[in-house]
Amino acid sequence: MHIKITGSGSYIPTEIVTNADFAKHVFLNDDGTPFPLPNETITEKFHDITGIQERRYVTDNLLTSDIATIASKKALEDAGIDPETLDYIIFAHNFGNVKKDAIQTDILPSLATRVKFDLRIKNPKCVAYDMLFGCPGWVEGVIQAQAFIKAGMAKKCLVIGAETLSRVVDLHDRDSMIYSDGAGATIVEATEEDGGILAHETATFTYDEAYYLYFGNSFNKDHDPDVRYIKMNGRKIYEFALNNVPKAMASCLEKSGISINEVKKVLIHQANEKMDEAIIQRFYKIYKQTPPEGVMPMSIHKLGNSSVATVPTLYDLIVNEKLDNQKLNKGDVIIFASVGSGMNINAIVYRY
């Protein structure tokens, strides 16, 4: 028995927000004082560091569970399976449903429950639950799906990663430009086909790192102090990722018994182009090699950082040959990897 991704789907929001669209924003320091550089300079420096030219936001009428359902329907159709045969729906997100201009999240009922409802699944033995695991949530969901299948508790699982970060950003914080919206979904199931998940690795670092990402006040001191927004210590996260993600990927690869020379693609969380490039350089340096050209596909330039949605969306785009000069061939070895709030790190070595 092999455990494979047999179907994928994604939803890329229709609202395109370019860096130029931030020209009229009032950016502040964390103490509320005006940021000393003009917005044109801020966005130029932002692009140089992150690689982001534009990002996608959902339209006002859509919620995280809505776009997750759209991606899930595509994944089910791609896999060619009846939704009633699903054993688990695992939905990775971090902020629940946040309506446009709302100050409160909605996770009652869970988003996984809402997706099951929207898919009109009658089978009560299809168990639906949410997972809060930061940006690595979808990768961890796939790891959990594999565990259920290995334990004989499931045969088919729907694993979703979706987020609408545009609803929880502080527009006075330059970091707000990183975040975007999106959804990716995959069917993970037992199959007789060769390949699938070969190894996995997960770790949670909290002793010093727990609050590198957190909910905090707006930099605008006139705003309601009880309304919170996503905040991050970018420098700390950058250093943490560079020190720990390559080691986790190498540990996972060692468990799989696969040579570094067999790895065709590394699908890493689209957090920051400069950070991801540094991670891939350090990973290959462990093996005294340099990364092959095209080994690390990037979608961040046009789609931004949609948290848990970045990896499954990237996978879906490549599988459907919607990313320039990127494709997967049967038998190719892929490494999925992510890092995010927790601080959590995970990786999967996978044969396509």
Domain end point (choices 193, 214, 241): 193
Do residue 15 and residue 100 come from a single domain? yes
pLDDT band at 103 (very low <50, low <70, confident <90, very high): confident
For residues 153-169, average pLDDT = 97
Do residue 184 and residue 239 come from a single domain? no
Please count the other Cβ atoms lying within 10 Å of the Cβ belonging to residue 351: 20
Percent over 70 (pLDDT), the chain: 100
Looking at residue 208, the DSSP 8-state letter turns out to be T
pLDDT value of position 222 = 84
CATH number assigned to the domain comprising residue 332:
3.40.47.10
Do residue 174 and residue 202 come from a single domain? no
* Nearest-5° Cα angle at 346, 344 to 352: 155
pLDDT value of position 104 = 87
Tell whether the model's pLDDT for residue 102 goes beyond 90.
no
Do residue 212 and residue 282 come from a single domain? yes
Do residue 50 and residue 22 come from a single domain? yes
Give the pair of three-digit tokens for residue 292: 């092959």
* Nearest-5° Cα angle at 119, 141 to 125: 65
Give the containing element (helix H, strand E) for 140. Answer: helix 137-150
Do residue 23 and residue 162 come from a single domain? yes
Question: 4-18, 20-34, 66-80, 88-102: lowest mean pLDDT where?
Answer: 20-34
pLDDT value of position 15 = 96
Tell whether the model's pLDDT for residue 246 goes beyond 90.
yes
Whole-angstrom distance, CA of residue 81 vs CA of residue 9: 13
pLDDT band at 66 (very low <50, low <70, confident <90, very high): very high
The residue range of the domain holding 342 is 198-351
pLDDT band at 225 (very low <50, low <70, confident <90, very high): confident
pLDDT value of position 37 = 87
Tell whether the model's pLDDT for residue 32 goes beyond 90.
no
Whole-angstrom distance, CA of residue 165 vs CA of residue 24: 20
How many domains in the chain?
2
More confident residue, 346 or 194: 346
C-beta separation of 126 from 113 below 8 A = no
Tell whether the model's pLDDT for residue 131 goes beyond 90.
yes
Please count the other Cβ atoms lying within 10 Å of the Cβ belonging to residue 259: 10
Do residue 179 and residue 252 come from a single domain? no
- Is the four-CA dihedral 126, 132, 138, 143 of positive or negative sign? negative
Please count the other Cβ atoms lying within 10 Å of the Cβ belonging to residue 225: 9
pLDDT value of position 224 = 87
pLDDT 10s digits, 71-93: 999 999 999 999 999 999 999 99
Rg (CA), the chain: 20
Do residue 203 and residue 171 come from a single domain? no
C-beta separation of 97 from 107 below 8 A = yes
pLDDT value of position 276 = 96
pLDDT band at 24 (very low <50, low <70, confident <90, very high): confident
Domain end point (choices 177, 193, 209): 193
Residue 8: closest CA among 269, 308, 266, 316: 316
pLDDT 10s digits, 164-194: 999 999 999 999 999 999 999 999 999 988 8
What phi, psi does 69 have (nearest 5°)?
Answer: -65, -40
pLDDT value of position 23 = 85
pLDDT band at 346 (very low <50, low <70, confident <90, very high): very high
For residues 62-75, average pLDDT = 98
Give the pair of three-digit tokens for residue 309: 């949605």
The DSSP string of 84-126 is: GG-SEEEEE-SS-B--TT-SS-B-SS-HHHHHHHHTT---TTS
Give the pair of three-digit tokens for residue 103: 């100050």
C-beta separation of 182 from 164 below 8 A = no
Q: Supply the mean pLDDT for the chain.
A: 95
Do residue 281 and residue 227 come from a single domain? yes
Domain end point (choices 166, 193, 220): 193
Do residue 75 and residue 94 come from a single domain? yes
pLDDT value of position 226 = 84
Do residue 150 and residue 277 come from a single domain? no
| Buried b or exposed e, range 191-205, using 16+ CB within 10 angstroms | beeebbbbbbbbbeb
Tell whether the model's pLDDT for residue 135 goes beyond 90.
yes
Question: Which one-letter amino acid corresponds to residue 281?
Answer: Q
N-to-C CA span, the chain? 15
**By CB neighbour count within 10 A (0-12 exposed, 13-18 middle, 19+ buried), where does 33 fall?**
exposed
Percent over 90 (pLDDT), the chain: 89
Do residue 19 and residue 122 come from a single domain? yes
